[in-house]
């Protein structure tokens, strides 16, 4: 991988062809002008109807208001979009790329940033950036500790919660050790999406937080700390837990929504989620019974932000910025936070908003299974992305090839 900086330099030279001037978000009227009539291909995971509906709504509004067409390219995996940009770079297609905007965060962002696959900086010059809660929500400028440097714009906050069915599990375990006790007593009623799905890895990172004396080590790359010593208690915990998992840990749901289906089928009683509003939205859709509630464990839970980024060779950069700016608007943010729609947390600082915009948020009802911001408790920062990669790899070696 050492050759990559050199390679990027070479590619940068090669691509110094007379390119079209890139739009400058500091000159917003010019961006709006250029964006009119453009078509933005927004590559975003397409596995949840709630987000698909939200994206359709955002596209309709942006079309009406700014004349920007939005096409939602529904991905089964964000990695597909990363692969696409990589293939375009391999083929020397440095302009006119197929992807204009990607819903991204964490390891995918880190990989694209490292390999020079992103356009920018642009995000911090968007008009609606002024409302973003940079101080109160450090995750909006540090994506899994990797500085965003204006290469991606945040649009939703997420925090780990657990949801459970009160009809079957009246008293959910308040801590990881209580979870282990409960699983040992009543085996087969808990599981998590199989790593490398992000939720499975998140479950382990969440567990790890409660087991180490000094959580700040998680902010450094794994190769700068004593990884084996830090994670020893985690693996002891996982060794104890795995035999008591659903199907004795011999099979796992592959994604969060398939985990939700297991909950709906009554196969499991407790599940992890990265969206505080997911349970409420699922109840509203008739996917879960209205006896489901969510809660957080003691000591705070991991929180992060979802972003949108523009590939370096995107075709409709101006249109993509207009869409990203709209996603940051109080109007879109309030809609995303509505539990009936998405239930995503806002990235804005509510006290910085004009009163009429603030009122949009005050008018929201939380939803039957959604915790209030106070009840959600403190958020813990995401560890450096290398933790995710390493923990996933170790989990796979220990439990992922067990049969």
Partner 1 sequence: MRALRAAPGLTLALMLGPVAAGLIGTLAPALGVFPALGGTRLSLAPFAALAAWPGLGRAVFLSLFTGVAATLISLGIVTLFAAGWQGTRAMAGIERALAPLLAVPHAAAAFGLAFLIAPSGWIARALSPWATGWTRPADLLIVQDPWGLAMVAGLVIKEVPFVLLMLLAALPQARPGPRLRIARALGYGRVTGWLKAVFPAVYAQIRLPVYAVLAYSMSVVDVAIILGPNTPPPLAVQVVRWMSDPDLSLRFQAAAGAVVQLALVAIALAGWRLGEIAIGTLGRRWAEGGARRHGEGAARGAGLALAGLAAGAVVAGLAGLGLWSVAGLWGFPEALPDTVSLKSWARHGPALIAPARETLLIAGAATALALALVLACLEAEHRFGLTPGARSLWLLYLPLVVPQVAFLPGVQTLALMGGADMGRGAVILGHLVFVLPYVFLTLAAPWRAWDARHATVAAALGAGPGRVFWAVRMPMLLAPALGAMAVGLAVSVGQYLPTLLIGAGRVQTLTTEAVALASGGDRRLIGLTALAQTGASVVGFALALAVPRIVWRRRRGLCGA
Instruction: Specify the residue, 139 or 316, whose C-beta has the smaller distance to partner 1.
Output: 316
Question: x/- string (CB under 8 A) for partner 1, residues 214-253?
Answer: --------------------------------xxxxxxxx
Instruction: Specify the residue, 69 or 352, whose C-beta has the smaller distance to partner 1.
Output: 69
Residue 365 burial (CB count, 10 A): 10
The residue count for binding partner 1 (CB under 8 A) is 82
DSSP 378: P
Exactly one of 138, 150, 196, 215 binds partner 1 (CB under 8 A); that residue is 196
Which residues is 70 bridged to in the sheet? 40
Residue 108 contacts partner 1 per CB under 8 A: yes
Phi/psi-derived region of residue 264, left when phi > 0, alpha when psi is between -120 and 50, beta in every other case? alpha
Is 162 in contact with 302 (CB distance < 8 Å)? no
Minimum CB distance to partner 1, residue 373 (Å): 27
Minimum CB distance to partner 1, residue 21 (Å): 22
Q: Which helix (H) or strand (E) holds 43?
A: strand 39-45
Minimum CB distance to partner 1, residue 176 (Å): 22
Instruction: Specify the residue, 56 or 65, whose C-beta has the smaller distance to partner 1.
Output: 56
Exactly one of 138, 150, 188, 299 binds partner 1 (CB under 8 A); that residue is 188
Question: What's the CA gap between 23 and 379, in Å, rounded?
Answer: 36
Question: x/- string (CB under 8 A) for partner 1, residues 128-167?
Answer: ----------------------------------------
Instruction: Specify the residue, 137 or 189, whose C-beta has the smaller distance to partner 1.
Output: 189
Residues 6+ positions from 338 with CB-CB distance below 8 Å: 364
Instruction: Specify the residue, 160 or 169, whose C-beta has the smaller distance to partner 1.
Output: 169
Residue 107 contacts partner 1 per CB under 8 A: yes
Residue 110 contacts partner 1 per CB under 8 A: yes
- Range 87-106, binding partner 1 (CB under 8 A): 87-93, 98-99, 106
- Range 283-302, binding partner 1 (CB under 8 A): 286-289
Peptide bond into 121 cis (omega under 30): yes
Minimum CB distance to partner 1, residue 73 (Å): 4
Residue 1 contacts partner 1 per CB under 8 A: yes
SS (H, E, C) 267-321: CCCEEEECCCCHHHHHHHCCCCCCCEEEECCCCCEEEEEEEEECECCECCHHHHH
Instruction: Specify the residue, 211 or 264, whose C-beta has the smaller distance to partner 1.
Output: 264
Instruction: Specify the residue, 111 or 340, whose C-beta has the smaller distance to partner 1.
Output: 111
Question: What's the CA gap between 92 and 50, in Å, rounded?
Answer: 37
Is 192 in contact with 207 (CB distance < 8 Å)? no
Minimum CB distance to partner 1, residue 196 (Å): 7
DSSP string computed for 224-267: GS-HHHHHHHHHHHHHHHGGGSGGGGT---SSHHHHHHHHHTTS
- Range 309-368, binding partner 1 (CB under 8 A): none
Instruction: Specify the residue, 116 or 299, whose C-beta has the smaller distance to partner 1.
Output: 116
CA distances from 160 to 203, 207, 260 (A): 9, 11, 15
Stretch that binds partner 1, among 40-48, 216-224, 318-326, 361-369 (CB under 8 A): 40-48
CA distances from 78 to 45, 85, 90 (A): 6, 11, 19
Is 128 in contact with 329 (CB distance < 8 Å)? yes
Phi/psi-derived region of residue 256, left when phi > 0, alpha when psi is between -120 and 50, beta in every other case? alpha
Instruction: Specify the residue, 41 or 129, whose C-beta has the smaller distance to partner 1.
Output: 41
- Range 64-83, binding partner 1 (CB under 8 A): 71, 73-77, 79-83
Residue 254 contacts partner 1 per CB under 8 A: yes
Residue 403 contacts partner 1 per CB under 8 A: yes
Stretch that binds partner 1, among 22-30, 173-181, 199-207, 389-397 (CB under 8 A): 389-397
Residue 15 contacts partner 1 per CB under 8 A: no
Stretch that binds partner 1, among 42-50, 125-133, 231-239, 349-357 (CB under 8 A): 42-50
Question: What's the CA gap between 191 and 272, in Å, rounded?
Answer: 9
């Amino acid at each position: 991988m050492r050759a990559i900086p050199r390679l990027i330099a070479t590619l940068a030279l090669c691509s110094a062809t007379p390119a079209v001037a890139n739009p400058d978000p500091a000159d917003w009227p010019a961006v709006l002008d250029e964006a009119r009539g453009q078509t933005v291909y927004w590559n975003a995971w397409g596995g949840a109807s709630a987000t698909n509906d939200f994206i359709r709504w955002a596209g309709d509004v942006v079309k009406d208001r700014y004349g920007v067409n939005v096409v939602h390219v529904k991905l089964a995996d964000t990695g597909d979009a990363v692969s696409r940009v990589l293939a375009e770079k391999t083929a020397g297609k440095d302009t006119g790329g197929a992807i204009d905007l990607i819903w991204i965060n964490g390891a995918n962002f880190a990989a694209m940033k490292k390999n020079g696959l992103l356009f920018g900086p642009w995000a911090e010059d968007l008009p609606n950036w002024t409302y973003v809660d940079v101080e109160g929500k450090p995750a909006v400028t540090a994506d899994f500790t990797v500085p965003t440097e204006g290469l991606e714009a945040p649009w939703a906050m997420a925090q780990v919660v657990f949801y459970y069915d009160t009809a079957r599990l009246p008293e959910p375990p308040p801590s990881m050790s209580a979870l282990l006790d409960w699983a040992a007593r009543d085996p087969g009623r808990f599981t998590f999406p199989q790593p490398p799905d992000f939720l499975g890895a998140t479950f382990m990172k969440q567990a790890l937080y409660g087991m180490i004396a000094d959580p700040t080590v998680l902010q450094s790359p794994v190769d700068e700390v004593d990884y084996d010593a830090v994670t020893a208690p985690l693996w002891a915990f996982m060794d104890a837990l795995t035999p008591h998992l659903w199907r004795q840990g011999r099979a796992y749901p592959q994604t969060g929504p398939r985990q939700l289906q297991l909950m709906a089928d009554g196969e499991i009683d407790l599940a992890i989620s990265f969206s505080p509003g997911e349970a409420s939205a699922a109840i509203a859709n008739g996917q879960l019974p209205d006896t489901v509630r969510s809660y957080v464990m003691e000591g705070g839970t991991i929180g992060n932000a979802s972003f949108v980024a523009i590939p370096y060779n995107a075709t409709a950069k101006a249109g993509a910025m207009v869409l990203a700016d709209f996603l940051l608007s109080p109007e879109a943010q309030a809609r995303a936070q509505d539990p009936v729609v998405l239930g995503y947390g806002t990235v804005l600082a509510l006290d910085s908003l004009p009163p009429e915009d603030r009122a949009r948020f005050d008018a929201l009802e939380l939803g039957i299974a959604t915790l209030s911001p106070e009840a959600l408790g403190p958020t813990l920062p995401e560890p450096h992305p290398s933790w995710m990669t390493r923990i996933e790899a170790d989990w796979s070696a220990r439990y992922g090839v067990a049969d």
